[in-house]
């Protein structure tokens, strides 16, 4: 029981300490070296996901099913989209269609 | 050394390795003959006899790009225009094989149009690159969509040669190569049917129509269906951009050629994380940018491709 309490406290502490960073990172996709990271992101409905292009090359974020489409994102630019409905949303960079990733909305 | 007197594919391939300053290509009966441009220049008269200057290819201007690989792409496009205007004989038309802009922005298209309006040749044909259609194609078609009825593909004849503009940068399949699509392929079949096999054909599109490097998407997935329709023709020249470097191949009567960019070079296939701008020493840059001029000899029908760098 004591052990369980300690662990719970540690866990809670970890969440508190990193809460701002985690809230941000959890809904963010980084674009670097011609890759989306993470390639598979899971969020809950109502979440805004932000893509940051950290590459020297422009990229786009284009839903395969036409649900969302960014403009060309130059280095340092971002795009955000709010997912309201559950589903698996596959997307590509329309400039480099080898770059493929998904957002799963629960 | 010139191999014009001693044509052999091995010799041609050897000369292709010179690359750099510019290489002169001739196509006769499906065999590329190549000679170093510097030598061609010293043999004045011979160059002119190789054919009628027909058109010049400009590619990958990327107006709006301003990073280390070339902070002033407007200046290098202007130099390319000057190179065209300085040719000893004026070509009949110019092909721009796409990536006119970096980010599909109207202001980028406006600047490109302003620079290209200085060309001494008024007939300009343009196919889009993927950088020109990141909005799905509306901004590009507003400016260049008229000849194709906003479809992006069309054909025309000039001086006996049949030109075919194709679009392979829309509707990518995830993870895939460039794509022509069923509608465009059906149109191409119609366009070629009944056309005499003796008519020279020039096909131009942004992304390579043959697979140069699949992991970087340097190819067009359904292009083989187009080549099935083109193989019966005696002289087919396929011109692309996209990869910002010269790569050539001859297959039967079909010559494939990619042009240099006027903006910045890209790495050789597979070198580095992806096909992004390649930063080179400023002194080396002009030698890696340039244009391609294409001529035809009438008797016998033969295409001559000359790559000229900005240095």
Mean pLDDT throughout B181-185? 97
Residue identified by tokens 């899971």 is A42
- Kindly list the residues from chain B whose CB atom is less than 8 angstroms away from the CB atom of residue A64: 174
Average pLDDT, chain B: 82
Q: Which domain holds residue A71?
A: 27-105
The model's pLDDT over B213-263, given as tens digits with 9 standing for 90+, comes to 999 999 999 999 999 999 999 989 999 999 999 999 989 889 999 999 999
Residues of chain A with pLDDT under 70: 1-24
The confidence band for B299, taking pLDDT boundaries of 50, 70 and 90, is: low
- What is the secondary structure of B36-67 as a DSSP string? EHHHHHHSTTHHHHT-EEEEEEE----BTB-S
A61 assigned to some structural domain: yes
Q: How far is A49 from chain B (nearest CA, A)?
A: 20
The confidence band for B174, taking pLDDT boundaries of 50, 70 and 90, is: confident
Contact B165, B153 (CB under 8 A): yes
Cα B12 from Cα B32, distance rounded (Å): 6
Inform me whether the pLDDT recorded for B41 exceeds 70.
Answer: no
- Kindly list the residues from chain A whose CB atom is less than 8 angstroms away from the CB atom of residue B177: 97
Closest to A92 (Cβ–Cβ): which among B67, B102, B174? B174
Helices (H), chain B: 9-16, 37-42, 46-49, 73-85, 106-116, 138-144, 182-192, 223-230, 285-288
ipTM: 0.75
Cα B107 from Cα B303, distance rounded (Å): 37
Residue B300: predicted pLDDT: 54
What is the token pair recorded at B310?
């900005």
Instruction: Tell me the CATH number at A81.
Output: 2.60.40.420
User: B103 and A71 in contact by Cβ < 8 A?
Assistant: yes
Q: Beta strand pairing status for A100-105 and A87-92?
A: antiparallel
Contact B100, B109 (CB under 8 A): yes
Q: How many domains does chain A have?
A: 1
Cα B277 from Cα B59, distance rounded (Å): 15
Give the range with max mean pLDDT: B22-36, B43-57, B77-91: B77-91
Inform me whether the pLDDT recorded for B308 exceeds 90.
Answer: no
Q: How far is CA A22 from the centre of its chain?
A: 11
The confidence band for B6, taking pLDDT boundaries of 50, 70 and 90, is: very low
- All structural domains of chain B, each given as residue ranges with its CATH number in brackets, are 54-298 (3.60.21.10)
Residue A24: predicted pLDDT: 57
Residue B159: predicted pLDDT: 81
Count how many pairs of residues, chain A against chain B, have C-beta atoms within 8 Å.
60
Inform me whether the pLDDT recorded for B85 exceeds 90.
Answer: no
């Amino acid at each position: 029981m004591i052990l369980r309490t300690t662990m719970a406290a540690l866990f809670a502490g970890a969440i508190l300490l990193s809460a701002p960073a985690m809230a941000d990172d959890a809904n963010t996709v980084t674009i670097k070296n011609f890759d989306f990271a993470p390639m598979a992101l899971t969020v809950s409905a109502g979440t805004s996901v932000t893509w940051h292009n950290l590459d020297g090359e422009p990229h786009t974020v284009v839903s395969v099913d036409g649900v969302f489409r960014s403009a060309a994102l130059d280095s340092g630019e971002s795009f955000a989209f709010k997912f309201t409905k559950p589903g698996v949303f596959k997307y590509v960079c329309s400039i480099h269609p080898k770059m493929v990733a998904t957002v799963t909305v629960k | 050394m010139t191999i014009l007197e001693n044509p052999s594919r091995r010799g041609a391939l050897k000369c292709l390795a010179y690359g750099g300053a510019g290489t002169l290509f001739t196509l006769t009966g499906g065999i590329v003959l190549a000679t170093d441009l510097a030598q061609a220049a010293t043999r004045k008269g011979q160059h002119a006899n190789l054919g009628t200057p027909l058109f010049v290819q400009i590619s990958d201007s990327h107006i709006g790009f301003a990073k280390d690989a070339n902070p002033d792409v407007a200046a290098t496009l202007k130099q390319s225009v000057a190179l065209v205007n300085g040719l000893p004989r004026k070509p009949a038309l110019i092909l721009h094989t796409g990536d006119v802009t970096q980010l599909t922005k109207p202001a980028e298209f406006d600047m490109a149009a302003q620079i290209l309006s200085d060309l001494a040749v008024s007939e300009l044909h343009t196919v889009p690159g993927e950088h020109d259609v990141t909005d799905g194609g509306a901004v590009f078609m507003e400016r260049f969509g008229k000849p194709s009825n906003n479809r992006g593909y069309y054909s025309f004849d000039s001086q006996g040669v049949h030109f075919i503009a194709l679009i392979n940068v829309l509707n990518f399949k995830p993870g895939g190569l460039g794509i022509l699509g069923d509608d465009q392929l059906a149109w191409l079949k119609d366009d070629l049917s009944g056309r005499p096999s003796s008519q020279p054909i020039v096909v131009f599109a942004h992304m390579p129509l043959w697979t140069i490097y699949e992991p970087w998407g340097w190819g067009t997935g359904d292009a083989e269906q187009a080549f099935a329709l083109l193989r019966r023709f005696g002289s087919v020249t396929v011109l692309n951009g996209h990869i910002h470097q010269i790569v050539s191949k001859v297959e039967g009567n079909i010559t494939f050629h990619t042009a240099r960019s006027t903006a910045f070079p890209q790495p050789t296939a597979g070198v580095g994380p992806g096909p992004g701008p390649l930063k080179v020493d400023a002194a080396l840059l002009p030698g890696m940018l340039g244009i391609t001029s294409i001529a035809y000899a009438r008797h016998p029908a033969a295409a001559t491709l000359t790559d000229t760098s900005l240095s």
